[in-house]
Chain A
Amino acid sequence: MRPELDAAQARLADEVDRVLDAAPPGTDPLALFARLGAERLLAVHYPAAFGGRGLSLAHHVAAAERMGARGLPDVIHIVTVQAVGGALLAFGSAEQQARWLPKIAAGRLFGSLLLSEPGAGSDSAAIRATATPDSGGWRITGVKTWSVSTDRSGIALCSARTRAGRSRYDGISLFLLDLTDPAIQMTPVPRALGDPYFEVTIDGAYVGPDALVGPLHRGWSLLPSTIGFERAGFECLSRATSWMRATETEFHRLPRAARAAAAGDLVRLRAQVAGARALAFHAMHTADVLDVDEVLIAYSKLACARAGQAVARWAGEELAPTPELSAAVDEAPELTISGGPQELQLDLIATDFPIGRAVR
């Protein structure tokens, strides 16, 4: 048991600080990722041959947490390095790994997930997009939605049906798409709260045989590992931590009597964030690239999301609005929706026998 970073994790976090401190003020976040990539800090859990340092996921999250704390957009990093890069690392061919992972680890290529479809919500098996054999490769057609940061991405991991299948989970395959293909069009779906989602229309985009990631027809079984890290809730944790800091700053501006009256609430929120952080780090400590405990991940995601929401709600109710706290109030509902809605996590936790097994 260890409630704080170990020495190696702390050193990585310090290295992230040094790289970011050395960048000129106002440097674009994507350029900052490239600077971190140049120091092999963006994906330290990748093998050295692919631009990493061959360390564990637990080391990686220590570096990633610091990136989030310094204001880098977590979603880009989590989806690119963990989801897309992680899928390639785990299931990609040697050629795919050699071609794509060094660019991802260098912070010079970003990726998106094209899994959800209109009307299907979080049911990733409800796939109507198709990939049909064509000239030795595949021609992909369909519409994907709820994709994030797609406008900044060069590639995307896309699910499509490659045969009717004996069940709804059979016959799903994963492909790596080049988002610069003119047969792929993306349309922002504006939101009043937060950055836009993207709806992506794929109109007969051709991909070669080397675009298939993992086994043909059996891509469904790869998805939990692919999106497992996203579902650990680190992007929620980053927001919870940042919102907690902003909340404390405003709390300390309250009159003395108001601070005294609300101090118990502040400590409760701090404990909630700290507990969520412990669960998230533990989930990654016990995971490797291929294997995560789905139930532990559910606890982690739910705890991180709820912590962020609790902080945002308290701040929205009790403190004068500031730009950051207002943004927190706006973004908070999404935390229990994106990356797997909370209903899925609650079901996983409730049906794990004996209940609580995964967290003790």
Chain B
Amino acid sequence: MNLDLDDDQRNLLGAVRTALLAVSPAGSGWAVLRQAGVTATLADGGLVEWCLALEELGASCHDITTVRAAFAFLDAHPGEKLPDVVPSAQPATPTTDRDLLLCAAYGVGLGRECLEVAQDRAADRVITGRRQIEYQGTSHRLAESALDLALARIAVWHAAWYEDRGRPAGHAAPAAAAASVAAALTCAHTLVQAFGAAGTSDPDVVRRYRGAYALTELCGSPRSLWQAAGERWLAAAPAST
């Protein structure tokens, strides 16, 4: 029982990160990954690999449309091993558990980027003679957010791992999405707070903040996702209990 990535997964991450370095500020991370041939590798991978890539997209591009581009790519490549178990979802939202998990992975990446930027800002900024990160009001908020994010990533990875092995837990995908969206929102708020008044006008901060809320439009609110997960879990619980 561990969270280690295998060599292939680490290589994939390296390729994704290298490719994303070439994305221009207004460019599409997804298009760059396609041009670099990374998406072809992903087409042979499992959901875990897709989630790893989507986290990097979330961390690097801040472009929520890449998630939809990933859905479209997957749909254009039939034969992949990924399940499609929620056909009744609304068209404008993720239509499968697979899609929900990709959104969740993207949200983890977005949250990660928010926290790293917030931490850099707090480490550099001096307030009344002390670095901002030395104030526990800032450092503990960063740490609390980082813990939420770590747990969300684990939920995403575990759900994807079981999906890849054909043993999906019915409630795992919405649960992972709930944890991810909640963590991304928390991290985005932490980012704005770390920047102070500047955070309400800095375009990069505002883009990330709005990106987190765009996740709620794509996946649903954390509360609704937890409830959906709960309903599935309850439906699968033994009748005697």
Contacts and interface: CB of A to CB of B under 8 A. Distances in A.
Contact of B112 (A2, A259, A278, A356): A356
Contacts of B133: 350-351
B227 A354 contact: no
Interface centre among A5, A347, A348, A349 (most CB of B within 10 A): A349
A35 interface: no
Contact of A355 (B4, B6, B116): B116
Interface in A304-350: 306, 343, 345-350
B119 A58 contact: no
Contacts of A268: 175, 178-179, 226, 229
B71 interface: no
A136 B107 CA distance: 63
Contact of B139 (A58, A285, A350): A350
Contacts of A355: 115-116, 119, 142-143, 146
B229 A349 contact: no
A349 B155 CA distance: 20
A30 interface: no
A263 B233 contact: yes
Interface in B149-175: 149-151, 153-155, 157-158, 161-162, 171, 175
A58 B2 contact: yes
Contact of A1 (B3, B142, B146): B3
B154 A350 contact: no
A356 B123 contact: no
B119 A350 contact: yes
Given A1-B2, A4-B1, A281-B1, A266 B136 contact: no
Given A267-B171, A267-B226, A267-B229, A356 B1 contact: no
Nearest to A278: B154
Contacts of B112: 356, 360
A348 B2 CA distance: 22
A260 interface: yes
B151 A285 contact: no
Contacts of B158: 3, 274, 278
Nearest to A277: B1
Nearest to B229: A267
A1 B157 contact: yes
B215 to A, nearest CB: 17
A2 B1 contact: yes
Nearest to B235: A263
A182 to B, nearest CB: 45
A120 B149 CA distance: 33
A266 B2 contact: no
Interface residues of B, number: 49
A278 B241 contact: no
A5 B1 CA distance: 5
Nearest to B159: A3
A218 interface: no
Nearest to B119: A355
Interface string A136-163: 0000000000000000000000000000
Nearest to B162: A3
B86 interface: no
Contacts of B150: 275, 279, 299, 303, 356, 359-360
A3 B157 contact: yes
Contacts of B1: 2-6, 9, 58, 62, 278, 281-282, 285
Interface string A1-21: 111111001000000000000
Contacts of A274: 154-155, 158
A282 B2 CA distance: 5
A158 to B, nearest CB: 32
B116 A267 contact: no
Nearest to A268: B226
A302 B178 CA distance: 21
A249 B237 CA distance: 12
Nearest to A4: B1
B81 interface: no
B69 interface: no
A252 interface: yes
A356 B116 contact: yes
A303 B139 CA distance: 17
A275 B234 contact: no
B85 interface: no
Nearest to B157: A1
A298 to B, nearest CB: 8
Interface string A271-309: 110111011011001100000000000010011001000
Interface of A: 1-6, 9, 58, 62, 248-249, 252, 259-260, 262-268, 270-272, 274-276, 278-279, 281-282, 285-286, 299, 302-303, 306, 343, 345-351, 353-356, 359-360
26 contacts: A1-B48, A1-B157, A249-B241, A252-B237, A252-B241, A260-B231, A263-B231, A264-B223, A264-B228, A264-B229, A265-B226, A267-B175, A268-B226, A275-B150, A275-B179, A279-B3, A279-B151, A282-B2, A285-B1, A303-B147, A346-B139, A349-B146, A350-B139, A354-B116, A355-B119, A356-B146
Report, nearest first, the 10 A-B pairs whose CB atoms are least far apart: A263-B230, A350-B139, A264-B230, A264-B226, A275-B151, A349-B143, A264-B227, A285-B2, A346-B143, A359-B150
Given A267-B175, A274-B158, A359-B153, 7 more contacts: A3-B162, A4-B1, A262-B230, A264-B226, A268-B179, A275-B179, A354-B116
